[in-house]
A and B are shown apart, each in its own frame.
Chain A
Amino acid sequence: MSSKSLQRKMDRLLTLENQGKLRTSTMNRSVRKLSANVLALVGLALFLLILMSSLAAPLISSYEPNAIDLKHRLSPPGEGHLLGTDQIGRDIFTRILYGGRISMFVGLGSAIGAALIGVSLGTYAGYTRGVLDSAVMKLSEIMMSFPQIILVSILVTIAGQSLWNLILIFILTGWPSMYRMTRSQMLSIREQEYIQALQAFGIGSVTISFKHMLPNAIGPIFVNITLSTAMFILQEAALSFLGLGVPLEQATWGNILNVAQDLNILRNAWWVWLPVGVVITLFVMSVNFIGDGLRDAADPTQVG
């Protein structure tokens, strides 16, 4: 905006204010800031688009995700199959739609689950310190020193291979990093004088830590949640490949990608792996945009 037009805008605001007509928005300040952030809105739109089309998969595609059509193996895009078929004739477009359901569920569900545990423990223990903090800290160190693959193998051996076990594993291995990050935020915030002011009023630990401290740490937490969503989606793909993740017959983005291990498919059938790769990238990117927007909205020193 040029300085002249900016000045005109300010003049207009000033006259409005002098007339007492300038009303303050009743919308929440963070929501207002988020809705002014174009990149975050683009991310949100993209996220909703992918989410909605996955949820509405039966309305969009007339194929079944696991319907095998041996007459049309590895057929290129077109001919009734929008994105072609894989090596046993399943419609790729349909599988991407249905696979999104599982992948997004695993990614978001694990990230949110891990955040719920890690952030709430970190918030409280980081503020109160003491025995709870050192106990949880040691526990998180133990959890983080286990190779994930071994944990998964153990659980799969005990409980069998399933979607829920995978999410459980992701939550179990994911919360320690959330805990440590939240805790470190809390450790710096608790030294602020406004916390001591609340203590001087005798406000309880739960109110101080969750109501007064957590909002100041929420930016990095959001970013961490979005990044782990992306990370869990990729991990799901990796574990599925080893046969330890979501059972192979269930369509997920990872499972679709992993049938494209064959060099022949990689060279000659781009439609098997490229679209799903693009979808994963777009989805991860949109989640990251939203995360950035949320962080900016939660930052009180940025005016909006």
Chain B
Amino acid sequence: MSDTREVLMKVEDLKTYFPVRKGVFKRTVGHVKALDGVDLEIYRGETLGIVGESGCGKTTLGKSVLRLHNPNGGKVFYAFPDGMRNILELKGGELDEARKRLQIVFQDPYSSLNPSFTIFGSFDDPLRKFGVKSKKERQRIVEKLLSDVNLPGDYMMRYPNEFSGGQRQRIGIARALSVNPELIVCDEAVSALDVSIQAQVLKLLRQLQSERNLTYLFITHDLSVVEYVADRIAVMYLGKVVELADTEELFMRTLHPYTQALLSAIPIADISKKRKRIPLQGDVPSPVNPPSGCTFHPRCAFATEKCRELSPQLETFTFEGREHHVRCHYAMDFASRPQGSHQSIQ
């Protein structure tokens, strides 16, 4: 990729902790470290995939940059027309400015639309808030938005229970588009849909991206989906980014043992190919009390004494002009070894 990429959002050392309260007086006895120092950059017009197993903080990341959660530390810079500003410090009108640029598409199409409101009713308040005064005008806009997601405009007078999951998801996308955002967080946006509908919605997302120059933060646990949509992929483990690279680069040169295990789990529809599965031992450790050193060491086949004591930093390597960030002491050892999880063994 060229160097002309413009940074749209820069996340620095983002931390979101959820307090664990116990006892009669609800004393805070600890914190769930959902995000424990996340660093990443999102470029304008790209799709950044976030993958990881349940509970690794993917969704918390998406909701923290939108301020649906209040992060405890770190910075989220966003490229406003007048320069980079930290979203976490914005208030009032400035925050509304940010909300107009950042939107979200949710996971569950059955809970993302208010059952008591018509489709138009779900769009009404946001549009009014962002300055569309006349009802006629708002109706015209909703009609246009619905046609943008390939639904008839007169559906806006119907109730959510009259739609299928795929239709609802497209309505959810239309709602996110209603304020002309630049960045959309897709929080498991296709995970609840069946495969044929997934393809349809992914295609729609891609088409909207090219039409409107959208940037996606695409959160998913489905590696085959992320391989299809993402330009770059960030792999998260226990509230940290452990590996981040271009999609092609990541699949070709997997440096973190966790990513290797993850990628080896992608099913391939070809029985003649045999792959080495790398099963992970045990469960994800508790984010309340993460392991010392490298948080992955209890499950890592290559862990050494160093891993148990020293927490690795996110280091940047460059292979053939492409950046590859990885959080592992022994990343270079993996890099020199011939590997790649898509490559068949035997």
Contact = CB atoms under 8 A, between A and B. Distances in A.
B157 A201 contact: no
B117 interface: yes
B129 A197 contact: no
B108 A193 contact: yes
Contacts of B271: none
A194 B159 contact: no
Chain A interface, DSSP helix/strand/loop, else mixed:
helix
B107 A193 contact: yes
Contact of A194 (B68, B111, B179): B111
B103 interface: yes
Interface in B53-92: 63, 66, 68
Contacts of A24: 157
Contact of A196 (B106, B113, B115, B117): B106
A198 B102 CA distance: 13
A160 interface: no
Contacts of A200: 66, 68, 99, 102-104
Contacts of A216: 114-116
B339 interface: no
A87 B167 CA distance: 71
Given A201-B179, A202-B96, A202-B99, A194 B113 contact: yes
Contact of A203 (B117, B125, B160): B125
B98 to A, nearest CB: 9
Contact of B117 (A193, A202, A212, A303): A212
A207 interface: yes
A116 B107 CA distance: 35
A193 B122 CA distance: 12
A162 interface: no
B95 A202 contact: yes
A197 to B, nearest CB: 6
Contact of A197 (B95, B96, B159, B175): B175
Contacts of A202: 95-96, 99, 129
B312 interface: no
A211 B107 CA distance: 24
Contacts of A198: 125-126
Contacts of B126: 198, 201, 203
Contacts of A215: 116-117
The CB with the most chain A CB atoms within 10 A, among B104, B116, B176, is that of B116
Contact of A300 (B102, B103, B115, B179): B115
Interface in B104-142: 104, 106-108, 111-117, 122, 125-126, 129-130
Interface residues of B, number: 32
Contacts of B108: 193
A216 B114 CA distance: 8
A192 interface: yes
B316 interface: no
Nearest to A202: B99
Interface residues of A, number: 21
A301 interface: yes
Contacts of B175: 197
Nearest to B110: A193
Interface string A210-236: 011001100000000000000000000
A202 B92 CA distance: 9
Contacts of B157: 24
A194 B114 contact: yes
Nearest to B112: A193
A196 B116 contact: no
A205 to B, nearest CB: 13
B104 A301 contact: no
B147 interface: no
Interface in A249-304: 298, 300-301, 303
Contacts of B103: 200
A134 to B, nearest CB: 8
B161 interface: yes
A199 interface: yes
Nearest to B116: A215
A29 B113 CA distance: 18
A126 B271 CA distance: 54
B322 to A, nearest CB: 33
Contacts of B68: 196, 199-200
A13 to B, nearest CB: 16
A301 B129 contact: no
- In order of increasing CB-CB distance, the 9 nearest A-B pairs are A193-B106, A215-B116, A193-B112, A201-B126, A300-B115, A202-B99, A194-B114, A192-B111, A193-B111
Interface of B: 63, 66, 68, 95-96, 99, 102-104, 106-108, 111-117, 122, 125-126, 129-130, 157, 159-161, 172, 175-176, 179
Given A200-B103, A301-B161, 6 more contacts: A197-B112, A197-B176, A201-B125, A216-B114, A298-B116, A301-B115
10 contacts: A192-B111, A192-B112, A196-B63, A196-B106, A197-B104, A197-B172, A200-B66, A212-B114, A212-B117, A298-B116
